[in-house]
Amino acid sequence: MDRRINSVDVPLLTALYFYTVGSDLGLAHQSFRKEKDRYMRIFHYSVARYLPQLLEDKMILPSTEGLEKERWHAVWFSTNPIWEESANKMYLASGIRIPGNKLDTHEIGKGLMRIEVVPEAAPYDWEQYKRKSMIPGKLARSFLGNAKKGGANPKEWRASFKPVPQRDWLSVELFNWDTQVWEDSMVAFRRLEQMQKEKEEEAQG
């Protein structure tokens, strides 16, 4: 096991514990989960170090980074079932900001995570977002160009201008880099809990 990639983050482990044993997901998601294969699946992709705060807030808040006007702010989602390349993080190398890839993002963010939501929670595609937000064309083209360079497909993007509450979530998953599989929160919690026990046993000698 590559512990550099799959290291245990205690705040994440704690947050997952309380989520798995005491989640207050809305009742509506229970029946939707059983029939979700009939619908387009939509995910909010991010990094695991943000998950404890998301679970505490019980909502996904609009992104404001680099966007000065409130009407440009949105919660971003993707229909890509594997990973959204525009969610990759930047990193510094010799004082220069470098676009990271999926592995870089995994390392920077202490893991990858995604939250699946009901389709109604993210009603706007990229073209609808541009019209509704009235984002300047130059800024939209810059964002789109950088995203495409990183391998993103704007046809997969979905957006919400409002915070997306936990009642609209269908699942919370973490990416297991060793198996290259998305794990449900309960499975991820048990794996990380076992890793934490092994780490403590090693420390004890």
At residue 33, does pLDDT exceed 60?
no
pLDDT, position 72: 87
Look up the pTM and report it.
Answer: 0.83
The whole-angstrom separation of Cα 19 and Cα 12 is 10
Give the pLDDT band (50/70/90) at residue 12. Answer: confident
Give the pLDDT band (50/70/90) at residue 195. Answer: confident
What mean pLDDT do residues 180-188 have?
88
From the list 161, 174, 189, the residue with the least C-alpha distance to 60 is 161
From the list 113, 134, 117, 111, the residue with the least C-alpha distance to 75 is 117
Percentage with pLDDT > 90 across the chain: 52
Mean pLDDT, rounded, of the chain: 84
Structure token pair of residue 60: 């996904």
Model pLDDT for residues 84-115, shown as the tens digit of each residue: 999 999 888 888 888 899 999 999 998 999 99
From the list 86, 87, 84, the residue with the least C-alpha distance to 42 is 84
Give the pLDDT band (50/70/90) at residue 2. Answer: very low
pLDDT, position 66: 66
